[in-house]
Structure formats: structure tokens, C-alpha cells
Chain A
Amino acid sequence: EAQVTQNPRYLITVTGKKLTVTCSQNMNHEYMSWYRQDPGLGLRQIYYSMNVEVTDKGDVPEGYKVSRKEKRNFPLILESPSPNQTSLYFCASSTGTGSFQPQHFGDGTRLSIL
């Protein structure tokens, strides 16, 4: 089954404790992206990657890091999480790099930073 898998689905942690949210897709997609969803703000793009070793900033990259060492994986790293990073996070992927390719989303990771 074609899917984007995020782990963990839920996490409660404390300020400053480094964490990584993993994202894996089994569709051999070139494009992957991370979003956060906040009430009243919709979905905002954090980082995206056009292929292995190629990443770029979205609209809200501050406080986040990403890496793309393999095509299927695109982890999101919070080196020193803060309460304003409490949010619902989505990973997405799409085939090719054309802007007209619809993205497939994972089911989300709810992070709470205390």
C-alpha cells in the first residue's frame, strides 16, 4: 500500500530536549516536504526536498533542521525545541518535481513541548 509514514504519532517532551520526527515514503517519490498546522494559520511549509541531498527552506524554517540522505526518508529535527513549536506536523511526498504534482500526506505527528 502506497503511504507516507510518520513516527511518532504523538510526543510530549520538554523544552531543549532534542527530538527527531521520522518520515518515510514507499512510493519512490523525489519530492518530500514538512508542514505544521496551527489553529487559524492553516498549513505552513517548513522545509522541502527535491531529491537526495537537496533541501530548501519553506515559509517557517526557524528552529528546524532536515536531512535527505536517502530517497525514502526525510526526518525533521528539532535541536532545541521550544513551546512555540507545539503543533501538528505533517510530512508529504510527491512524484517528480513539477509543481502540479499533488502531494500525499502522512497522518500527522502531534508534538507538545512543555
Chain B
Amino acid sequence: DQQVKQNSPSLSVQEGRISILNCDYTNSMFDYFLWYKKYPAEGPTFLISISSIKDKNEDGRFTVFLNKSAKHLSLHIVPSQPGDSAVYFCAATGGTYKYIFGTGTRLKVLA
């Protein structure tokens, strides 16, 4: 059973426009969510996170929104840049030290 789902395997966006990456989860015990970005031949790098007590967290061009009632979070990138082209993973954890990752969304930003 996939507790964290990223239903869009890929997404293409024009440079300068908004990219929206979505993530759904099923376990209501999750209380912290993170987004990682991964380039080919490299390990994932941390991007932004959000605690379940918040509904929004912003860091420069990146904003994460959390809708607890819908068990849904999204990552907004504004404006999108070609260097943002990568695979994005959402991850969740819930008071233990176990992390559950989604399957990833490949973002392509077109110049």
C-alpha cells in the first residue's frame, strides 16, 4: 500500500510560468513533510519542508501548501527556471524515524 503518492510521473512547464507538483498521503499520523530534488547521477537534495501544524511554508521561489483534511500537499515553483528540471520527491514522516517517499515527478522546464 503506497502511503505517499505522486500521481503525475512527469510535468512540462514553460520557463517563467508556475510549476505545481502534487503529493497525496493516506496516513493521518504523518506530521512532517519534505520535498527533495534529484538530478541525474546525484543524490536527492533537500528543498523545503512543512510541519502539520502549518498550511504553508515559503522559501524564495518555492512554496509548499498542506491541506490536512484532504491529505494533500503541493509544491509551487514560481517562476520556473530551466535549472529546476529534475525529479521531485515528496516524503512524509510521523514521529518515528521512518520516512516514506513518493514515486517522484519528473519536471521539465522548457526554455
Identify the A interface with B (CB < 8 A): 4, 31, 33, 35, 40-45, 48, 50, 56, 58-59, 90, 92, 97, 99-100, 102-108
Contacts and interface: CB of A to CB of B under 8 A. Distances in A.
A104 B89 CA distance: 14
Contacts of B51: 100
Contacts of B93: 99
16 contacts: A42-B89, A43-B44, A45-B100, A48-B97, A50-B97, A58-B99, A90-B44, A100-B49, A102-B49, A105-B36, A105-B43, A105-B44, A107-B42, A107-B43, A108-B41, A108-B42
Interface of B: 4, 6, 31-32, 34, 36, 41-46, 49, 51, 89, 91, 93-104
Which 6 pairs across A and B sit closest by C-beta, in order of nearness? A105-B43, A102-B46, A42-B103, A43-B101, A99-B93, A42-B101
B98 to A, nearest CB: 6
Contacts of A97: 97
Contacts of A59: 98, 100
Contact of B43 (A48, A99, A108): A108
A42 B102 contact: yes
Contacts, number: 63
A100 B100 CA distance: 13
Nearest to B4: A42
A90 B43 contact: yes
Nearest to A91: B43
B43 A102 contact: no
B64 to A, nearest CB: 13
B34 A106 contact: no
A99 B100 contact: no
Contacts of B36: 105
A99 B34 CA distance: 10
Given A42-B89, A100-B32, A102-B49, A31 B44 contact: no
Contacts of B95: 99
A97 B51 CA distance: 16
A107 B99 contact: no
A102 B49 CA distance: 8
